[in-house]
Structures are given as structure tokens and as C-alpha cells.
Structure 1
Amino acid sequence: MSITFKKTYRFAVKSALYVTLFSTAFVGLLISIFFKAGNQELIRFCMIFAFCVAIFSFFVLQYRVERFIYRRVKKIYDDVSLLESSSFRKQPITTDMATLTRQVKKFATDKKLEIETLKIREEYRREFLGNVSHELKTPLFTVQGYLLTLLDGAMNDKTIRKKYLQRAEKGVERLIYIVQDLDMITKLEVGDLNLMTTKFDIVEVVQNVFDLLEMKASEKNIMLMFDMKYIKAIEVFGDREKIQQVVMNLMVNSIKYGKEDGTTEVSIEDLVNNKVIVRVMDNGEGIEKQHIPRLFERFYRVDKSGARSEGGSGLGLAIVKHIIEAHDEKIYVESKVNVGSEFSFTLEKAK
């Protein structure tokens, strides 16, 4: 921390002026009473006396007050510096009360914001750990239950043994799925997942996802379709594999929360600035407004019991958000309860 400090002379000048006026008037009065001096000599004496007293008073007051204030202000700076505020510690020490007040007020405001942010992060951390624990606990207990049953004698029955091993395998698969998603989102958040940007046809990618999810959609009799027939290819720039995962995750959610005999529709539209927007729309149950700001948080579920019965890691939308942001693009969501939801994201269009 610099030990130079801003000087303020207003206090010293005013104080020296008051001392000078009083001293000069008092001495002048004494001289006129006890030494019968002429007016000219008296005026000349008073002017010289006033000048000397003013200069002496100013320097004494300035020095003493600055040293007095500086010692106390420096203690404030030293105490504050213990809080590891690098921006505050770089400030030169000032004895100007207005400047000091502004600096301390700014420091207090920054600390208050920092404390509030830490509280929010702590709450998020507790919620995140609780969610991770719950997500991992369910398949682990499932696997453990089937294995313990087999060890207790059920393994002697070939039919039960095969059925329970298959169910245990599904539990392990869900664990692997959760761990893989956690690994991916961690890499995305720290920027450790490199994107392989190429030019590709987004229509073809969406059609591939349609083919992969056809059987899943048929279980609820949900129709997967484009909003129109795309005859020509629509080429965009991005990581084809990651963008396909984005479309896959959005459509899986659409099917998961879609109503029986419903639809999941995809549209691709041109935007300004050489962009396209991909929309994934459904006519499902919709999302209440208060849930929308938190949809892209890890493990956040609108309907916790219903969502877990449908399976999944609870990380799909968080992964979608990070992939789109890694492309420097935007993702949007609009939804109305009992009407449906629309998730959309932008991509750079190839020239």
C-alpha cells in the first residue's frame, strides 16, 4: 500500500484565519491600551503580526492535524487490508474525509455484494450436493437391492437371477449415464472441452435425431415432424456432434413431458446477421413461469417426482446451455401451462 496521501488545506486555512484574526485583534487592542502607538505604526505592526501568525498557524495546524488524522486513517486502511481487498489496498492513503468516505462506502458495498454472492453460491452448493446424492443414491440402492436378493438365495433360480441381473444392469447404466453427463458438464464449465467446428447440414442432424427417437416417441404416440418440407440443405457452422446432442436433449425433454398423442415439431428459420434459429416445439404440459429462470441449472426439475420416474440425469438442459454458449450463441425458452413449450437456439449460417 502506498504511504503517500492526498492533502487537504481547507481546514488548516480556516483555522489559521480564525487564530490570526483573534490574535491580531487581541494584540492590537493591548498595544493601543498600554503603548500609545500611532495609527500607522499600529496598522503596520498588526499586518506583520497577522502575516507571521497566519503562516505559523497554518503550517502547525496542517502538520499536526494531518499527522493526527493520518495515524487513525492508516489504521483503518490496515484493518481493511486484512480483508484481502486488492482493489482497496492499491488505493493511496488519503486524509481527505470526502474521498475516504467514498472509498470506504465503495468497499462496504463491494463486500456486501460479495457476501450475498457467496450466500447464493453456498445455497446452490448445498442444493447441488443434495441433488447429486439423490440421483446417485436411487440407482445405487436399486443395484444393491437386487444383488443382495440374489446373494440371499435367489440366484439359485435361473429365471429370477437373469431378471434381477438385467435390472441391476439398468441401474448401473443409469449411474454411468449420470457420471458421463457430470463429466461433460464439468468440462464445458471449465472450458476444457474443445469444439470441432465444421460446416454441416442442420436439417440432416435433426432428421438423424428423429430416427434415433422414433421408438421412444411411439411409446407415447408422439409425432416427430418438421414444420415444413426442407428440400434444400441448410448449412451452419458448429460442432456437429455437440449440436446433435443439443437437439437430442431438447427433443427427449419434449417427448418426456409431452402429452399422449401429441407432437414435437422442429422449425429452422433465417435470422439477421447471418444466423439461423432452430425451434423445438411441443404441445405438452408446459412450464410455469416461476420455473423458467432455473430450467438450465444442474439437476433442477420442475416436477421432481414425475421427472425422476421418467429417468434421465437431470443435466440435459444444463449441458444444452453450456454447449450453445460455447458456440457463442443464445438459447431461449417460452412456455405456457397446458399449451406447450418452445426451446430455440441460434447458430451461425454458412455462406
Structure 2
Amino acid sequence: MALEGVQLLEHLRTPALTVSNGQVSFANAAAKALLGAHIAGQDVRIAIRDPDAVAVIMSDTGGTANVSGLSVGGSEWEIDVFVLGNDERLISLYDLSVQVSVARAHADFVANASHELRTPLAAVFGYVETLLDTRAGGDEATREKFLKTIRHEAQRMQALVEDLMSLSRIEAIKHEVPSDTVDMVVVARETAGEFRDGTEIRVEANCDSAEISGDRGQLAQVLRNLMDNGRKYGKAGGPVTVTLEATATGWLLVAVRDEGPGIAPEHLPRLTERFYRADTSRSRAAGGTGLGLSIVKHIVERHRGRFDIASRPGKGTTASMMLPLRKN
């Protein structure tokens, strides 16, 4: 390859290399960072240890090949080969890891959402068909029991659809930093007052006011989700304790603690995954959609904060977030 071409490849951010007579004759800085500085002069079959890719590189027509794990385990790359001459090839490498990961996550999400909707929908159809049978539908007690079950399953589907829409809206604006002034002490006390089912929800703060730059509706949604989790999965009747602590370093710590049975440690890293449940039967019985903590995490990240869950079996669970205080 001419000197001008080599200089041009050197300035590309895309990994690129040339192969002459089966050996790497040139590798730009991006290629060396990916495959190692030692690849210059190396046999291409050793530099790129993938039979399909090597076959395309050594072919007379060039082409493309996909390679897995070229940089790290799980990574996906596309190799484009252009034939410069009888014995010389130009190779470009493109990282497809993000696109593949997003596509896989999208497919998993659709599959999980479909499964979550299919279960209550099947129950609704089953009970409706039973009610259409005059032998069952004509019995008042049976009809009332089945109609209550249908309503419960319909409410499950409604909650799931609402959470899916909420998650979609949050993801659509996740890169927009909210700028309204929100007093988290006021929001916490107002949200706690929404629960009137007998659960004791305490709000404790080390300050009268704690202002942050945020989206009031989303922050209230976070607190509502966390308080509701404490109510559902904590000790019957409460208490659920919400503490707000403004620090001298410019952060606000908000923690929601229950005194329930706690969560086994192996579940903690996955609790914010969509549709993940530590206790599937208990979550569904309580009306959970499996999306609440994922929504919380996305909202906290949009507010440039950090979210964490700590728990010990038999010692309760604490969900906490750190949010930057508004600078006056």
C-alpha cells in the first residue's frame, strides 16, 4: 500500500490493517489497541483466530465475516475485507457489540412482556368461557367469585401496561437533565400521606427543606414505588421508615427501610432488571409487575443520582438513593 494510504489509515479511529501474503503488514493504532501491538508481521491466522474470518481474508473476492469475542468475551465484530491485489488485503473491523446487545435486550424485553400479559389474559379467557356455560354462570356465588378473579387479572394487565408506558416515557427523556426545583422533604411527606391502608409510614429528615433539580412527578413516583414495596413486602402493618439526610458534601441521601423478611444476597444484583422477581409467587400475589425497581433506577439515573438496595434475611430491606442537592 502507498505511503499516503498508510498515513490515512493511521488516523482512522476504526481498527484497520493490511495483510500481504498471509501476514499482517500494517496495523493502525486502533487495531493495535484491539489486537495487541505485536500483530504487525504476524500470521493473520494467529492475529485473528477465527476460521470463517480467515477464510474471507484469504479468499480472492474478499467480503465480510462476523467474529465473536475479538476484544472481550461476548463482544461482536464485523470484519470487512477488500482485495487490493493478488496478495494484499485491506481489513476493517467494526464493533457491533452495542447493536447486538440492544437487539438482544429488546427481544428479551418483548418476550418477557408477552409472557407477563399472556398469563392473566389466559385466566380471563378461561373464566369467561366458564361463565358462558349456563351450569356455572347461572350460579350466583360462582359468578361473583369468577368475576372478581377476572377483575383482579384485568387490573394486573392494566398495571403492567401502565408500567410499560411509564418505562418507555422515562427512557425517551433519560438524557434530558430535569431543572425544576423540587423539595424532597415535602414530596416525601405528601407521598407518605397517600397510603391510608393502615401501614405506618414514618418520614424523618435532618433538615426542614432539601431542594434538588428534578422532575417532581418522577421523584414522587420513585418514593411511591419504594414505599409501596415496603408496605407489600415488609412486616404486615409496617412500619416503613423514610429518612432524608442532607450532607455537607452536597448530596441528599433518601432511604426507605422496612422490617420484613429481607432478600437473599444472590437476588440483590438483579433486582433492578426488568421483570426480575426475588419471589415470583409473592410478587404476583401482591400485584407487582416486576418493573417497579427498573423504573426507579432509570429515574434516579436521569437525576444524576445513584440507587442501591441493601438487605439481610430476617433484618428487612433498605432501598436508598443519593441525589445531588441544588446549588443556590
CA distance in 2, matches of 1:96, 1:76: 6
Equivalent residue number for residue 288 of structure 1: 264
Equivalent residue number for residue 217 of structure 2: 241
The answer to whether the Cα contact below 8 Å between 2:253 and 2:321 also exists between their aligned partners in 1 is: yes
2:170 equivalent among 188, 191, 213:
188
Q: How has the CA–CA distance of structure 1 residues 175 and 74 changed in structure 2, closer, same or farther, with 3 Å as cutoff? A: same
Task: Say whether residues 1:333 and 2:277 are aligned partners.
Answer: no
Q: How has the CA–CA distance of structure 1 residues 132 and 146 changed in structure 2, closer, same or farther, with 3 Å as cutoff? A: same
SS at match of 2:213: strand
Q: How has the CA–CA distance of structure 1 residues 73 and 135 changed in structure 2, closer, same or farther, with 3 Å as cutoff? A: same
CA distance in 2, matches of 1:193, 1:155: 53
Query: Deviations along 1:281-303, whole A, 9 cap, x unmatched?
Result: 11111112211111100011111
Q: How has the CA–CA distance of structure 1 residues 95 and 173 changed in structure 2, closer, same or farther, with 3 Å as cutoff? A: closer
| Amino acid corresponding to residue 223 of structure 1 in structure 2 | E
SS at match of 1:150: helix
Gaps of 5+ in 2: 8-18, 50-66, 78-96
Equivalent residue number for residue 97 of structure 1: 41
How far did residue 343 of structure 1 move? 0.9
Q: How has the CA–CA distance of structure 1 residues 96 and 349 changed in structure 2, closer, same or farther, with 3 Å as cutoff? A: closer
CA distance in 1, matches of 2:75, 2:243: 43
Equivalent residue number for residue 274 of structure 1: 250
Give 1 or 2: higher helix fraction. Answer: 1
Q: How has the CA–CA distance of structure 1 residues 5 and 236 changed in structure 2, closer, same or farther, with 3 Å as cutoff? A: closer
Equivalent residue number for residue 55 of structure 1: none
SS at match of 1:302: coil
Identity %: 30
SS at match of 2:311: strand
How far did residue 260 of structure 1 move? 2.6
SS at match of 1:339: coil
Task: Say whether residues 1:147 and 2:128 are aligned partners.
Answer: yes
SS at match of 1:344: strand
Q: Superposition RMSD on alpha carbons, in Å?
A: 4.0
Q: How has the CA–CA distance of structure 1 residues 234 and 74 changed in structure 2, closer, same or farther, with 3 Å as cutoff? A: closer
2:117 equivalent among 131, 136, 149:
136
Q: How has the CA–CA distance of structure 1 residues 325 and 190 changed in structure 2, closer, same or farther, with 3 Å as cutoff? A: same
Equivalent residue number for residue 313 of structure 1: 289
CA distance in 1, matches of 2:6, 2:44: 11
Task: Say whether residues 1:109 and 2:78 are aligned partners.
Answer: no
Equivalent residue number for residue 226 of structure 1: 203
How far did residue 275 of structure 1 move? 1.9
SS at match of 1:140: helix
The answer to whether the Cα contact below 8 Å between 2:240 and 2:259 also exists between their aligned partners in 1 is: yes
- The structure with the larger Rg is 1
How far did residue 333 of structure 1 move? 1.7
CA distance in 2, matches of 1:265, 1:174: 27
Query: Deviations along 1:42-78, whole A, 9 cap, x unmatched?
Result: xxxxxxxxxxxxxxxxxxxxxxxxxxx824347999x
Q: How has the CA–CA distance of structure 1 residues 72 and 98 changed in structure 2, closer, same or farther, with 3 Å as cutoff? A: closer
Give 1 or 2: higher strand fraction. Answer: 2
The answer to whether the Cα contact below 8 Å between 1:70 and 1:95 also exists between their aligned partners in 2 is: no
CA distance in 1, matches of 2:175, 2:132: 42
TM-score w.r.t. structure 1 length?
0.64
CA distance in 1, matches of 2:20, 2:276: 53
2:158 equivalent among 172, 176, 184:
176
How far did residue 324 of structure 1 move? 0.6
Equivalent residue number for residue 20 of structure 2: 70
> Which runs of structure 2 are paired with 1:154-165 in the superposition (5 Å)?
154-156=136-138, 161=143, 164-165=146-147
Q: How has the CA–CA distance of structure 1 residues 152 and 190 changed in structure 2, closer, same or farther, with 3 Å as cutoff? A: same
How far did residue 146 of structure 1 move? 2.6
TM-score w.r.t. structure 2 length?
0.68
CA distance in 1, matches of 2:39, 2:295: 52
Q: How has the CA–CA distance of structure 1 residues 280 and 114 changed in structure 2, closer, same or farther, with 3 Å as cutoff? A: same
SS at match of 1:212: coil
2:280 equivalent among 286, 304, 313:
304
Q: How has the CA–CA distance of structure 1 residues 137 and 72 changed in structure 2, closer, same or farther, with 3 Å as cutoff? A: same
SS at match of 2:195: helix
Q: Answer 1 or 2: higher relative contact order, Cα 8 Å, separation at least 6.
A: 1
| Amino acid corresponding to residue 174 of structure 1 in structure 2 | R
CA distance in 2, matches of 1:96, 1:164: 73
